[in-house]
Amino acid sequence: MSTTTSQAGIRSIRGYISWYWFPTIGSIVWIATLLGLLITWISDGSPYYDSMDPSGQTIAYISDIGADYLKPLFITGSSITSVCFVLSLLGARWLRHRGRILPNTSMAQRVLSIISIVGAAIGGVGLILLAVFDTRRYVTLHRVFLAVFCGGVLISALGTVLEYWRLERNHRTSRVLTISMWTKLAFFVVELGLAVTFGILMRNRKHNAGAIVEWVLGILFTGYLLSFNLDLLPAAKSYTGQFKDVELTPPPTSYA
């Protein structure tokens, strides 16, 4: 078999098996998990769970439903989503290093990329553990791991936004990169605001409003994970080093 034929075969396989699978699978699994929990709770007649506040809470948190007989679904969905989240960021880092998508142009960008991966790993571990240590049997641990999940995701999102902002300054002709950056920035700002609101509502025992905010946060996370398709899809048809020699836009300052 010739080298050309072999490379063509690899590119053909890559069109079906690529890094963009991870954000796609992760987002599908996560939204399916949320819908499974929500639809089950509604179809069961919106029951009151033992983990719910007896002083007026009527809307279940995601974790309230996930602590009951659907706990295996919650753990499985959280685990798959967490792994796909981390692999999406690892994929972006690897593909930039290989020149199959627009590469990083400074050490600062690489450091920010690593920070985003570490944040995702912390958040992913937090998500898995909050599902395992459910809110009915392990209230304190569950809340600790919920904070770990939120903190890890926000750190990861901030690292990604800063990396893309600095990268976009060198690739201003890349419309996809610009859209991806602004999409992730919007997510970070909205999620940060909702996370703070969620914490305040829980502290003040406004559980119905807090539950609604938590469901919104969960659904928005689906969109954030899916946004990595903007970054990873081009690699399905690219080859190693293709973007290494892309002409850079001179930055407005010397530190970019």
Token duo for residue 18: 């690529």
Task: Compute the distance between CA of residue 220 and CA of residue 225 in angstroms, rounded to an integer.
Answer: 9
Per domain, the residue ranges of the chain are: 19-235
Say if CB 99 and CB 244 are below 8 A apart: yes
The CA-based dihedral angle spanning residues 131, 135, 140, 144, taken in that order and rounded to the nearest 10 degrees = 40
Enter the tokens of residue 110.
């690489």
Please tell me the predicted confidence (pLDDT) of residue 17: 65
pLDDT by position in tens, the chain (length 256): 444 444 444 454 454 568 889 999 999 999 999 999 999 999 999 999 888 888 888 999 999 999 989 999 999 999 999 999 999 999 988 888 787 777 878 899 899 999 999 999 999 999 999 999 999 899 999 999 999 999 999 999 999 999 988 887 776 667 888 888 899 999 999 999 999 999 999 889 899 999 999 999 999 999 999 999 888 887 766 545 555 555 555 555 544 4
Q: Is residue 196 a contact partner of residue 131, using CB atoms and an 8 Å limit?
A: no
Rounded Cα distance between 29 and 193, Å, is 25
With tokens 């709770």, the residue in question is 41
The residue among 61, 67, 77, 52 whose CA lies nearest residue 213 is 61
Query: Can you give the pLDDT at residue 87?
Result: 94
CA atoms within 13 A on the CB side of 121: 7
The pTM for the full model equals 0.84
